[in-house]
Amino acid sequence: MIGRKSPDFDERAPLLEARDLQVTIGKERILESASLTLEKGELVAVVGPNGAGKSTFARAFCGLRRPDAGRVAWMGVRLASLKGRRLADVRAYVPQRAQVPNGVSVQAAVNIGRSSHLKPLQGQTRKDREVVAESIARARMEGFEDRDLSTLSGGEMQRVQIAIALAQGAPVLVADEPTAQLDLGATAAISKMLRELVADGMGVVLIVHDLALAAAIADRVVVMCDGRTIATGTPEAVLTNQLISDVWGVEAELVQREGRSALHVEWLDRH
């Protein structure tokens, strides 16, 4: 029996369209209605308080958890039509908490990221090796190829995870809290790397809790609360004092000057 041919990706369509996704886990509705659109050469940050459903949303539109309702399309092709390698062709996913196996080197890990392009029992071609080397370089991990993953710092491990994703050669990178638990220097390095990928024409979806970071590097932000998308737009238009107060329950102001951003929070009432 000949299988049905997979539909072709539409280069003119948005990289990703997720509309009104719903997800129920057990008896609890985690997503009520979450939506997102990603265009080429764009970084979209998904923000919201803890428990808003951000990671569940990402896993749903990435095909890692089946939504109960809604529509997802990658470059014009419905998610339900994309399986295995075909899905890997269009999106790479960096999880929030990656497993770190012992005895695996950086080189071996990034090689695994390229495996979706290899046929069974096929070794890497010259092109595959070049892509792996380029992915390691773009993630600024040159010189670390022989290091065991278990010996890396948090920031180094995140860069390896991005290199693994880049080795897939997909036009979209979805990163779930890649800067969580990183220090300021490592966060800045990851952020600059993501903007470089966008400048090269990739689309990036960043799941992040840091509003100041989202405002600094995102072209658009999607704000989630209680499993719903409640606002979408540029950081300046969306992250207003009123919205921050309504969603996070704090008095705060997002200040941006000359490419720098800061979140001024009223931590204590000293009067």
Instruction: Write the pLDDT tens digit of every residue in 41-83.
Output: 999 999 999 999 999 999 999 999 999 999 999 999 999 999 8
Say whether pLDDT at 240 is over 90.
yes
Q: Are 47 and 179 in contact (CB under 8 A)?
A: no
pLDDT in the model for residue 254? 84
Tokens at 86, concatenated: 């075909």
Q: Which residues contact 50 (CB under 8 A, 6 or more apart)?
A: 209
Q: Are 15 and 188 in contact (CB under 8 A)?
A: no
Average pLDDT over residues 7-21: 92
pLDDT in the model for residue 1? 33
Please report, for residues 2, 148, 247, the alpha-carbon distance to residue 213 in angstroms, rounded to integers and kept in the order given: 49, 30, 17
Residue 80: CB atoms within 10 A of its CB come to 11
Q: How far apart are CA 168 and CA 163, in angstroms?
A: 9
Percent of the chain exceeding pLDDT 90 equals 60
Instruction: Write the pLDDT tens digit of every residue in 124-149.
Output: 788 888 999 999 999 989 999 999 99
Q: Where are the domains of the chain?
A: 12-90+170-238, 99-169
Confidence of residue 13 (pLDDT cuts 50, 70, 90): very high
Confidence of residue 268 (pLDDT cuts 50, 70, 90): low
CATH of domain 12-90+170-238: 3.40.50.300
Q: Which residues contact 168 (CB under 8 A, 6 or more apart)?
A: 88, 89, 92, 113, 114, 116, 117
Q: Are 209 and 14 in contact (CB under 8 A)?
A: no
